[in-house]
Structure 1
Amino acid sequence: MTKPRLLFLPLSLVIITLLGCGQSAKPETRSNQSAISTTTSSSIAPTPIFKSIDANIQGQPYGRGLSAVRFVSATTGYMDGNGIILKTTDGGQIFSAVAHTSVNLTGLSIAKTATTTVAAWGGHSILVSHNSGSNWSTYTFTHTVQQADFVTASEGFAITQGDYAPPASVPSALWRTTDGGAHWAELQAPSPPVSVSFGTASVGWVGVAGGDIFQTANAGQTWNRVLHLTAKPGEAKVHAVSSQICWALITGGSGMSQTSYTVFRTTNGTNWTPVLGISTAGAGPAPGNPGKVPRGPGSSPGPMAVLGPNQAVIAGVCEACGWGTASLSSTQDGGASWSSHPTIGDSEGPLASMSFVSLNEGWVLDNRGESGNGILLHTLDGGTSWKEVYPTTHPHPTMGVSFVNQDIGFGIGVPGNANAVVRSSNGGLTWTQVGVLPATKVTSYGNLGSPIDFLTTQHGYIVNQTGKLFETKDGGRTWTLQQIPRANNQFVSVMFASVEQNGTINTFGQQIDVTQDGGRRIIEKKIKPHYY
């Protein structure tokens, strides 16, 4: 029997489509499926048709377009995106829409001293609510809003992007409101501002595109430069805690899908100390040449969440590494030491947004690479393990599926855990985790095939990109690594034709590996390339 090829699309919410030819049946294995005849025209000889099952992972655009997440507490939080603001009061188990708009919202913030004040922005607009999302007011600027930061329910600041296209050149601008967002007035500020954060209504900092940081003590009337780096880096993003304490993430050069960065911190508002950094071969040295500071996560910076004077969490990504390459580092002593956490399984990165309410509990919004389908992941152990809470709290496979009949199927990977093995007994409507693959990473290389193949309800195989083949004989509960004498290729898909363990393993390249004993011995077959 020829097995249909699986098309794998790594999107967020999964729909399993099962197609059966002939009468409905529940075979225990695929090899014992009998042939049936079909009626054909007189000019064509009858051809046997084998009952077969196609499995297809497809994405539903349910979470498409989400941009930012902010939590006020362990239970109350917000997300926004293209035309919508969502709110949860149970930690993300259920989100409900609290606002609809024609604006593609890209940012979200909570006032530092008034958690009932929420600001969302995108396009030329800022939307503000002063009653936890029940009612919203909108203010429209002439140019695109880049960021908004509210200190109190009434005092807030915003940055609009410049427009340097001729004939009129309009620089980026800093704005202030004293009536909760009803009216805004432009301030004289260092140019071009890219981030703003105030610790009190009068004391705040602005980061500019050249990496410098400026401070004000009179609500933005005058500014003093407090950090200047000789080598011009990318930009500075500031995170104020009080009138004295502020953190800053400054990016450096970029190259080879890498971006160097340095995290700085001040305890008196003017003197800054590097506390974390990363230099790479492709991006060059970290801004400020920080020397012997702890190494940051990833090879490029992700979002940063500041929890207080001494607590912060930063995400890093490896953009050239593929899935599951976003990871976190956290500090509880002002950056003197950092705790590193493992990569977030099955995240596509770079992460769109991040919010923590403590060093243990936080959320990350993964927009699933090019698909744009938003997945919200939740951690209770500081980033060591993750569980999806939006758009669904139920597990579903994301990296590959294999069905042995129209009801029973197995999948590999769930959001937050790329090595989870799940099982469905109802044709893919619901899934239950049954095991965990003993591997560091499972990757299927997009739509090149499925890395999982089950022959019966008990016997199955999984391959991964490091050239490893795993076998289970108890329905996915436990897995054994097959000791392949020579595996020089990255495996991307596996297909077995019979319970006699004859099968093929597709590789990332012009080669197919063939086995006749369940993977214990591999025969390499070169493929002659064809050009179209």
Structure 2
Amino acid sequence: MTTKSRMTWKRIGALALSVTLAWGLGPVHTLPGANAASSPTCGNGDHGLTATLKKGSGVEDQRLQFTDIDFLNNTTGRAGGEGFLIGTSNAGCTWQSIYTGQWQFTQLDFPNNVNGFALAQAKDSPTTYLIRSTDGGAHWTRMDTKGIQFKRIDFRNKNEGFGYTYNGAYLTKDGGATWNRISTPANTRGAVFTTEKQGYAVVVAPGSGYRIMQTSNGGKNWTQSMKVTSTTWSGGDLYASGNQVWALLYGDAGMSQQSYSLYASGNEGKNWRQAFAQSTAGGGPAPGASSTGNGKGPADPGGHPGNMALIGNQTAYLSGGSPAAGKVGIGRSYDAGSTWKNIDLKDPGYSSRISFPSAKTGWLVVTSDNSPAIYETTDGGTTWKQKILLPAENE
């Protein structure tokens, strides 16, 4: 898959839990240590959670700030932050605290409702760790990754998953206990695998730009799939689901602006098109900006890309935010990049992440500290409804 493309990767069975919260799958049982606070009005304010979330170990003196969101289906999901994890089983009508403590979540990845993985940092530490939960997120165990620092994880089930570093890819088949490195080309700056055999890599070619490489034999051999001219080459991110592959390529950054381009393939890398190129005054020209594109990225001008969510072979979403404009938004395509549409949420914030469990229903979390909130859409992002709002840093 790819990060957050749940339709083909996640197996969500009807799980009966005795000591954990059966999210949307039966009676609600409070997680160990959780406070099942609820709001008298569906989707109103902070749902009475602010005081609860600030009681965790090591988080009492810091602001409440969201960092990621992960939904298993249209009603059941979790949102993580700096020192806390909350969840809902009724499409955000009510939320409850699942975890408070030392972990500052960077990315959440729950392949089912019981087993979860996350990338997280301990307070005041720059090191990112892989941690695992077997009770829905109430308790976490740090995994020993032998010095590997992942920047993204993607689990198919409780045992099998991929981990991606700044310049490489790894595979685990035992729930993250051990990892095997997948051979990637020299100068790799991003990778994604849809299966053990099929994968893609962003390769930097100093002096000329980027190359998108692909393999069909698990990294034994790589062939060039696309070449993109660029005067700068700071790296990229890849996402893939089914037949569609997306390459997010970065130019330079400056004045709170990021230049970047988004390329799409609807046939496993055989052919590519530029969805858009966003050049900025602070960041300069976007990679391949001279090519024909379909406008700018979400929350332009000066937008910063967040993460992508892919559904099936055609549908793709990209979150974004603009520090300069103080707004968040998304971009979307229903035809593997042939057309692209940007949508401004018209709500405050300057960074965001998304989770789309289905083609039209999705969730966006504002990850900037000025307006930590979660929004839901049921029409592919055309309209959004706020589901929770935490106090801003200065409140």
Query: What is the TM-score when the length of structure 1 is the normalising length?
Result: 0.53
Aligned to 2:154: 149
Q: CA offset at residue 105 of structure 1?
A: 1.9
Q: Which amino acid aligns with 2:129?
A: S
Equivalent of residue 120 in structure 1, options 118, 128, 138: 118
* Cα distance in structure 2, aligned partners of 1:385 and 1:62: 32
Aligned twin of 1:71 = 71
Q: Return the alpha-carbon distance in structure 2 between the equivalents of residues 308 and 290 of structure 1.
A: 30
Alignment of 1:505-524 (within 5 A): none
Question: In the aligned structure 1, how far is the partner of 2:180 from the partner of 2:323?
Answer: 39
Deviations 1:29-75 (A, max 9, x none): xxxxxxxxxxxxxxxxxxxxxxxxxxxxxxx9897132111112111
In 2: Cα distance, 1:14 partner to 1:185 partner: 43
> How far apart in 2 are the matches of 1:286 and 1:355?
26
Give the structure 2 partner of residue 206 of structure 1: 201
Task: Give the conservation status (yes or no) of the 8 Å contact 1:125–1:138.
Answer: yes
Distance 2:102 2:235 in 1: 30
CA distance in 2, matches of 1:99, 1:13: 16
Q: Percent identity?
A: 26
Q: Which whole-Å CA distance do the structure 2 matches of 1:251 and 1:276 have between them? A: 12
Partner of 1:190: 185
**Which residue of structure 2 lines up, in the alignment, with residue 388 of structure 1?**
386
1:195-344 equivalence runs, <5 A: 195-208=190-203, 211-231=210-230, 232-242=232-242, 244-266=243-265, 267-289=267-289, 291-296=291-296, 297=298, 298-299=300-301, 300-303=303-306, 304-321=308-325, 323=326, 325-341=327-343, 343-344=344-345
Kept in 2, the 8 Å contact 1:274–1:290? The answer is no
**1:279–1:173 distance in 2 versus 1, CA, 3 Å:** closer
**What is the rounded CA distance, in whole Å, between the counterparts of 2:101 and 2:221 in structure 1?**
36
Partners of 1:124 and 1:318 in 2: CA distance: 25
Q: Which residue of 1 aligns with 2:27?
A: none
For 1:151 and 1:14, how far apart are their aligned partners in 2? 32
Structure 1 counterpart of 2:86, one-letter code = L
CA gap of 1:382–1:276, structure 2 versus 1, over 3 A, is same
Greater RCO (Cα-Cα under 8 Å, separation 6 or more): 2
Q: Which amino acid aligns with 1:348?
A: G
Give me the whole-angstrom Cα distance separating, in 2, the residues matched to 1:293 and 1:83.
40
- Aligned positions of 1:73-152 closer than 5 A: 73-99=73-99, 102-111=102-111, 118-122=116-120, 123-129=127-133, 133=137, 137-141=141-145, 142-152=147-157
User: Against the structure 1 CA distance between its residues 265 and 326, is the aligned structure 2 distance closer, same or farther, given a 3 Å change threshold?
Assistant: same
Give the whole-Å Cα distance in 2 for the aligned partners of 1:117 and 1:224: 36
CA distance in 2, matches of 1:268, 1:127: 32
Secondary structure in 1 aligned to 2:346? coil
| Separation of aligned partners in 2, 1:209 and 1:119 | 30
CA gap 1:377/1:66 in 2 versus in 1, 3 angstroms: same
Aligned to 1:348: 349
Number of residue equivalences:
322
Gaps of 5+ in 2: 1-44, 49-59, 121-126
For 1:270 and 1:119, the matched residues in 2 are separated by 33
Structure 2 counterparts to residues 396-407 of structure 1, below 5 A: none
Asked whether the 8 Å contact 2:278–2:289 carries over to 1, the reply is no
Contact 1:194 1:207 survives alignment (8 Å): yes
CA distance in 2, matches of 1:376, 1:217: 39
Q: Distance in 2 between matches of 1:181 and 1:191?
A: 25
Distance 1:128 1:279 in 2: 39
Contact 1:103 1:125 in 2 (8 A): no
Structure of larger gyration radius? 1
Residues 104-123 of structure 1, C-alpha deviation per residue, up to 9 Å, x if partnerless?
22112354xx6765321124
Q: Distance in 2 between matches of 1:136 and 1:220?
A: 32
Matches of 1:245 and 1:179, distance apart in 2: 28
2 CA distance for matches of 1:236 and 1:384?
28
Check 1:346–1:101 CA distance in 2 against 1; reply closer, same or farther (3 A cut).
same
2:68, 2:367 within 8 Å by CA — same for their partners in 1? no
**3-state DSSP of counterpart to 2:151:** strand
